[in-house]
Amino acid sequence: MKELLNIAWPDFITFVFIFIRVGIIFTSVPVFSAEIIPRSITALIAFFLSLVLMPVIPPLTVAMSDISVLFLLVLMLHELLIGLCLGLAVSLIFAGFQIAGQLAGFQMGFAIANVVDPMTGADAPITANMFYIVALLLFLSFGGHHLLIKALVESFTMVPIESSLPNQGYLSALITYAATMFVIALKVVAPIIGVLLLLQVTFALTARAIPQMNVFLMSFPLIICVGLIFMIVVIKTMPFFFEAALYQSWEFMKTALSIF
C-alpha cells in the first residue's frame, strides 16, 4: 500500500495544483464566472479540463517525506497568482468596455437608470451592460476562449508547477497592465464624450444669448438622441479596439509569465 501511494502521489498532487490554476482562471474570466452560470458547472468544466491537461503536464517530483504545510501553501499561492494573471489579462478588457459604457451613460443622463448586470450581478447603467454584451460577443467571435485555453496550456510550460513566489518585475508588469482598462475606456468612449461636450457648450452659449429660451428642457432629448447616434458609430468601431486589446492581453500574458 505504501508503494502504491508513492507511485500515485506525484500524479495526484500535480492534478490538484493544475485544478487550482485552471479553477482560478475560470472564476475570473467573464464568460465562465458569470452569475447566470452555476458554480457547479464551472467547477465541472475546470475539473475535466484539468484531467485533459494532466497527461501533457510534467508531474511534480516531490517525495512525500519532503511535503510540509508551508511548502503546500507556497505552491498554492504560486498557482493562484498564475491563474489570476491569466484571468485578469482577459477580464480587464471587459472592465474597460464597461467603464466606457458607464461614462457614455453618465454623459447622456442614463446614470440614474441602473439595471442588474446578468453577468456580474452588480448594478450598472444600461449603456454599460450593452457595451459589456457587445464585448462578450466580440470575445467569442475572435476566438478569445480558444486563445485563453492556449495561454493556459503554455503557462505550464513557461511557469511549471513549483514552489516559488513572483519577483518585483512581475508585480510591476501586472500593475502597469491594469491601467490599460482606463485607456481602453477612453479610446472607445472619446467620440461620445467629445460630441456631447461640444453640444453642452453650445446649449450654454445659447442660454446666455437667448435667456427666454428654456434650454434646460430642450437639451435632454437632443443629448440622448445625439448620444444614441454616436453610440452606433462607437459600436461599429469596437471590433478594432477589441482586437487590439486582445492582442495586447496576449502579449502581456507571455511577458508576465516569462518574468515570473
Per-residue pLDDT of the chain (260 residues; tens, 9 = 90+): 445 445 566 677 778 888 888 888 888 887 777 666 777 788 888 888 888 888 877 776 665 666 667 777 877 887 788 888 888 888 888 888 888 888 888 888 776 666 555 555 556 677 888 888 888 888 888 888 888 888 888 888 877 777 566 777 777 778 888 888 888 888 888 888 888 888 888 877 877 777 776 776 777 778 888 888 888 888 888 888 888 888 888 888 877 777 76
- On whether the CB atoms of residues 14 and 50 are closer than 8 A, the answer is no
pLDDT for the residue 114: 61
Task: Kindly report the backbone phi and psi dihedral angles of residue 10, in degrees, each rounded to the nearest multiple of 5, phi listed first.
Answer: -60, -40
pLDDT for the residue 227: 82
Distance between CA atoms of residues 98 and 119, nearest Å? 12
In the chain, domain spans: 2-258
Distance between CA atoms of residues 256 and 260, nearest Å? 6
pLDDT for the residue 151: 81
Reported as half-sphere exposure (CB side, CA atoms, 13 A), residue 214 has a value of 4
pTM exceeds 0.85, yes or no: no
Task: Kindly report the backbone phi and psi dihedral angles of residue 124, in degrees, each rounded to the nearest multiple of 5, phi listed first.
Answer: -150, 155
Q: Which residues contact 65 (CB under 8 A, 6 or more apart)?
A: none
pLDDT for the residue 4: 45
pLDDT for the residue 150: 82
